[in-house]
Structure 1
Amino acid sequence: MDALLFDMDGVVVDSEDYWHEAEREELLPAVLDGEQPDLDEITGMPYREIYEYLDAHYETTVSEAEFVDLYDETAETVYRERVELLDGFSEIRASARDAGVPVGLVSSSPPTWMGYVLDRFDLEFDLVLSDDDVAGPGKPEPHIYEAAAERLGVDPGGCVAVEDSENGSLAAERAGMTVIGYRVTHNAETDLSACDVVCDGSEELREELRGRLE
């Protein structure tokens, strides 16, 4: 393993539990008229691209600016007050450090949202990369993972990415990385077939990563 890359939402923090609730009950009803998407359609995508997707495939009732404001307001509460850190993440981070493997945080979330998580849990990564930092379309396209490997100076084929969404796992797989799926309650039915291995819960994930790092 030349680098270990983590998705943020639903992996490093359990934010998808709260995003899915907010999207089903508040956000999507506020921005759409009629049919709503399955959440797997949009999970893992950059939120500005979510609006473009919804506007193209569903009946939007607000502008992009209004949509962004709604998501930003929700994000501040989710990340500053509600999320919890992945159980055992500090142990995984320490094992990677001992093995000399750089660890990156690679997320479709904007830098402000990532900053909430980094500050709240006092986290340090060798690379923090937001979709805002990368030219081209976001997940499920591979650009952000290709950029992460380039910035760390490693070949994508030597990287391991941990993802919980269909869009995220496809992005890492298309970049040529080994993809470890993380499955918990919020993504119990999510298609993770792009992953090389799927771990059920944090204990299995820790064991899988520890074995690869050792």
Structure 2
Amino acid sequence: MDALLFDMDGVVVDSEDYWHRTEREELLPAVLDGEPPDLDDITGMPYREIYRLLDEQYETTVSEAEFVDLYDAAAASIYRERVALLDGFGEVREAAREAGVPVGLVSSSPPQWIDYVLDRFGLEFDLVLSNDEVEGPGKPEPDIYEAAAERLGVAPADCVAVEDSKNGSVAAARAGMTVVGYRVEHNAETDLSACSVVSSGAEELRVELLDRLSA
């Protein structure tokens, strides 16, 4: 590979466990009247695009500004106090550095949420890219992954992307990348058919990525 790209939520940090619970029990009941969507339909999307989808297809009870405030408050708690770093991430990051392979963080989350994670765990990437910094729609469209490859100066076909959501894996695959799926409890039933391979758990993912880096 010429570049290794990580999704943040549910991969680099286990935030999806907290987001799913918070969305199901607090956020969606506070912003919708009626049945909420399947969480797989919105996971991986930028949160402003989530609101637009909800506003078009469901009965929203708050404005977009109120929705954003609710999500921002939840994000501060989730990222600054609750999430844990992916087991083995440091080893993979060091192996990539030794192999001369740049590592990017490619996330639908806004820059402030990403900064919470970078600051808390002292993480450094060769590229940090939020969907807020890309023209065009978010995942599952390929724009953010195409932009990441362009900024790193590599061909999408020579990139490996690690994703845990249907929307994210479809986005990377549409960009022409090799997609390694990450399967854990929170996405046990998620459609990861766009992935070239799916690793179950942090240890399988660590071995998969280290093998690819050493090949």
TM class, shorter-length: over 0.9
Corresponding residue of 1:30: 30
Matches of 1:158 and 1:34, distance apart in 2: 44
Matches of 1:97 and 1:199, distance apart in 2: 22
Matches of 2:47 and 2:170, distance apart in 1: 17
Matches of 1:170 and 1:56, distance apart in 2: 22
Corresponding residue of 2:142: 142
Q: CA deviation at 1:35?
A: 1.3
Q: CA deviation at 1:193?
A: 0.2
Q: Quick one: percent identity of the two aligned structures?
A: 80
Matches of 1:101 and 1:38, distance apart in 2: 36
RMSD of Structure 2 on Structure 1 (CA): 0.3
Matches of 2:12 and 2:156, distance apart in 1: 21
After the TM superposition, which parts of structure 1 deviate over 2 Å for at least 4 consecutive aligned residues? none
- Structure 1 residue runs of 5 or longer lacking an equivalent are none
Q: CA deviation at 1:89?
A: 0.3
Q: Number of paired residues?
A: 214
Matches of 1:44 and 1:8, distance apart in 2: 10
Q: CA deviation at 1:186?
A: 0.3
Mapping 1:15-94, distance limit 5 Å: 15-94=15-94
Deviations 1:96-132 (A, max 9, x none): 0010000000000000000000000000000000000
Corresponding residue of 2:173: 173
Matches of 1:56 and 1:2, distance apart in 2: 40
Deviations 1:129-158 (A, max 9, x none): 000000000000000000000000000000
Corresponding residue of 1:124: 124
Q: Which amino acid aligns with 2:68?
A: V
Q: CA deviation at 1:62?
A: 0.2
TM-score (norm 1): 1.00
Deviations 1:75-104 (A, max 9, x none): 000000000000010000000001000000
SS at match of 2:37: coil
Q: CA deviation at 1:166?
A: 0.1
Corresponding residue of 2:12: 12
- Structure 2 residue runs of 5 or longer lacking an equivalent are none
Q: Which amino acid aligns with 1:173?
A: A
